[in-house]
Amino acid sequence: MSSGIHSVQHEDRIFPPPADFAARMGTLHVPDLATYQSMHERSIRDPEGFWGDVAKDFHWFKPWSKVLEWNLPDAKWFVGGQTNACFNAVDRQVEAGHGDEVAIIWEGEPNAAGPHGHEVRHITYRQLRDEVARCAAALESLGVKKGDVVTLYMGMVPELAVAVLACARIGAPHSVIFGGFAAQAIVDRVQDAQSTVIVTCDGAHRRGTVVPLKANVDAACERLPDVRHVLVLRRTGTDVPMKAGRDVWWHDVVAKQPTTRACEPVDAEHPLFLLYTSGSTGKPKGILHTTGGYMVFTAATARWTFNLVPNSGQVYFCTADLGWITGHSYIVYGLLPNRVPTLMYEGAPNWPGDDRFWSIVARHKVTHFYTAPTAIRSFMRWGDRHPAKHDLSSLRVLGTVGEPINPEAWIWYHEKIGGGRCPIVDTMWQTETGGHIITPLPGATPTVPGSCTLPMFGVDAAVVDDHGHEQPANTGGLLVIRKPWPGMLRGIHGDRQRFIDTYFSRVKGMYLAGDGARRDQRGYFWIMGRIDDVLNVSGHRLGTAEVESSLVGSKLVVEAAVVGMPHEIKGTGIAAFCVLHPDHAANADENMRKRLMEHVARDIGAIARPDMIRFTNGLPKTRSGKIMRRLLRDIAAGKETTQDTTTLEDFNVLAKLRESDEA
């Protein structure tokens, strides 16, 4: 398989939408390619007309006066309008008489309880509204006001979705931190957001063990004197200390609130959330999304990409965590307005067995399954017998996200999971784009394994050179978006200059995605990977600088350089070249490697644990002092380097790196 991961260049198998797909779905929002093309053409020619029509399907407390105001790099959508994302996701369904429909299906990781040996909850829109209203009132009772950032650091429990929506309800932007991150990541994000209230759980279930979320928050709070309250949900029953005056239990504070707190009308451009993601420097950046545009874009793209049909028996299961943008957009905000139950699963895909996802699909009659290529590669390795044990015939549409999918994995997914009858939507997008920017539409777009195919409505995607000129077919270039779209980020929290520099500087007048890409003769897009120092590890973004600063922070290492290397399951693995501190230089052994790997895992989180560590006496640098990363990438990949090394300051360095033993 290893040869396949990057061999997307010569794929020419085409999979048209299956002939009986339309009949199976009942309704197709975009029935064929010609319809897609004419809708896309209109959306680019007349974005205001197009998005104005789409937005009419939502509830607005006050209508907008102008659909779009664009002063590069600042977009304002639905200017003057007032709405509420929680209202459109939840209350509106109740008010329209759909309160008894299931909004969220949740399955807990432990599989001891429940009628079928699983802990399952079905939450209707009415129940969800009541709990969200209570949680909103509880947050207010803790002093949260409109505009205050609330930090959410929880496991995949329904109360996380409740807390997200409660924040939206009162106009308090949320900042969700992935539960797999460690204390330092909490400190960085809480400080940057100036957040004073944190919502967490005593712990989270993961592979039969408990992740100590509250303990991590406590450790972080030692460095966060401004945190006033920590609201704690009891999930695992773990014994956790509660700090008097600061910590309060969810079951004490939320349960006693009335359900009367209504949705706060907010301006369309009112901040909805911050979500921290990695960039090319050490500091994660808080991507800002606002209310109206994001709400419209996520719900509409979810409807088109997955062909969602309200209350039609569809059940949608996205395996992402709410700590990532995929969870925000395509578990909560994009799904609930569509009245298709969204399934949240608490635990790991291989607990208690390697067939857990397929068991979930079969038991809940899941129609839509959305996961990452790295997960698919793991499923392949675990073996065909696991999906084969379960009835997967309910599936209609499969999706992938997070990284390019290698054709082998695509074909396996298509055959073994989709039974050859389910279109695969390979959805390309980013934290910054809010929602899908390039993706097939299941009833309309012929798919080619490894290509994310064609742009979403309203997205003027192109592959250009540094001057913004479009590249000819099959020529690599920079992926850009030439016009604003409703789901685009509105800024980086507290760092205007970084916003401009990162996204709007290299190619004049266009949004730079940070990915290399090409278009083929059909106009289909092929993503070729990041052009910056961001790694895509198992579909998660990680800045090389973050891992480097953690290694140096161990005090065992004086200098570190981190690069990506090919990895069969993760897509990209993490390779770290370290210069040990003189006091430890004699201990350059396996033990030291393990110590450093553990240090990074504890410091940032398990996803950042290096796969390979090499010790060296010095790092290869150019005369100007820049680390020669390409050379290190070649070495990490075990390739003979072709790079001109004449600029190496110290040829010995290269020689030593080559000689040094492998982890």
- Positions that interact with ligand PRX (CB under 6 A): 277, 325-326, 401-404, 426-431, 452, 513-515, 527, 530, 536, 541
Nearer to ligand PRX (CB atom), residue 574 or residue 588:
574
How far does CA 527 lie from the centroid of its chain?
A: 17
Q: What single DSSP character describes residue 306? A: H
Q: Tell me how far, at minimum, the Cβ of 582 lies from ligand PRX, in Å.
A: 38
Q: Tell me how far, at minimum, the Cβ of 461 lies from ligand PRX, in Å.
A: 12
Nearer to ligand PRX (CB atom), residue 433 or residue 641:
433
Q: Residue 508: is it exposed, middle or buried by C-beta count within 10 angstroms (0-12/13-18/19+)?
A: exposed
Q: Tell me how far, at minimum, the Cβ of 429 lies from ligand PRX, in Å.
A: 5
Q: Tell me how far, at minimum, the Cβ of 450 lies from ligand PRX, in Å.
A: 9
Nearer to ligand PRX (CB atom), residue 64 or residue 412:
412
Nearer to ligand PRX (CB atom), residue 193 or residue 320:
320
Q: Tell me how far, at minimum, the Cβ of 190 lies from ligand PRX, in Å.
A: 20
Rounded Cα distance, 83 and 379, in Å = 42
Backbone angles phi, psi at 151, to 5 degrees: -95, 130
CA 489 to each of CA 161, 172, 271, 493: distance values in angstroms, whole numbers, following the listed order: 21, 17, 10, 10
Nearer to ligand PRX (CB atom), residue 292 or residue 514:
514
Nearer to ligand PRX (CB atom), residue 487 or residue 610:
487
Nearer to ligand PRX (CB atom), residue 51 or residue 429:
429
Nearer to ligand PRX (CB atom), residue 430 or residue 502:
430
Q: Is 203 left (phi over 0), alpha (psi -120 to 50) or beta?
A: beta
Ordered DSSP codes for 243-260: -TTTEEEHHHHTTTS-S-
Rounded Cα distance, 38 and 34, in Å = 6
Rounded Cα distance, 647 and 641, in Å = 14
Q: Tell me how far, at minimum, the Cβ of 642 lies from ligand PRX, in Å.
A: 25
Rounded Cα distance, 149 and 133, in Å = 18
Q: Tell me how far, at minimum, the Cβ of 29 lies from ligand PRX, in Å.
A: 21
Q: Tell me how far, at minimum, the Cβ of 184 lies from ligand PRX, in Å.
A: 19
Rounded Cα distance, 240 and 249, in Å = 11
Nearer to ligand PRX (CB atom), residue 67 or residue 299:
299
Nearer to ligand PRX (CB atom), residue 443 or residue 449:
449
Beta-strand relationship, 342-345 and 102-107: parallel
Residues 546, 552, 558: CA angle, nearest 5 degrees? 140
Q: Tell me how far, at minimum, the Cβ of 261 lies from ligand PRX, in Å.
A: 32
Nearer to ligand PRX (CB atom), residue 160 or residue 325:
325
Rounded Cα distance, 557 and 583, in Å = 10
Rounded Cα distance, 595 and 599, in Å = 6
Look up residue 21 and give its two tokens: 């797909």
Q: Do residues 61 and 265 make contact, with C-beta atoms less than 8 angstroms apart?
A: yes
CA 260 to each of CA 148, 250, 278: distance values in angstroms, whole numbers, following the listed order: 21, 18, 39
Nearest to 37 by CA among 445, 376, 333: 445
Q: Do residues 105 and 125 make contact, with C-beta atoms less than 8 angstroms apart?
A: no
Q: Tell me how far, at minimum, the Cβ of 605 lies from ligand PRX, in Å.
A: 14
Backbone angles phi, psi at 317, to 5 degrees: -125, 110
Q: Do residues 471 and 57 make contact, with C-beta atoms less than 8 angstroms apart?
A: no
Q: What single DSSP character describes residue 62? A: B
Q: Do residues 463 and 437 make contact, with C-beta atoms less than 8 angstroms apart?
A: no
Q: Tell me how far, at minimum, the Cβ of 424 lies from ligand PRX, in Å.
A: 11
Nearer to ligand PRX (CB atom), residue 30 or residue 452:
452
* CA-based radius of gyration for the chain: 24
Q: Tell me how far, at minimum, the Cβ of 203 lies from ligand PRX, in Å.
A: 26
Q: Tell me how far, at minimum, the Cβ of 517 lies from ligand PRX, in Å.
A: 9
Nearer to ligand PRX (CB atom), residue 257 or residue 536:
536
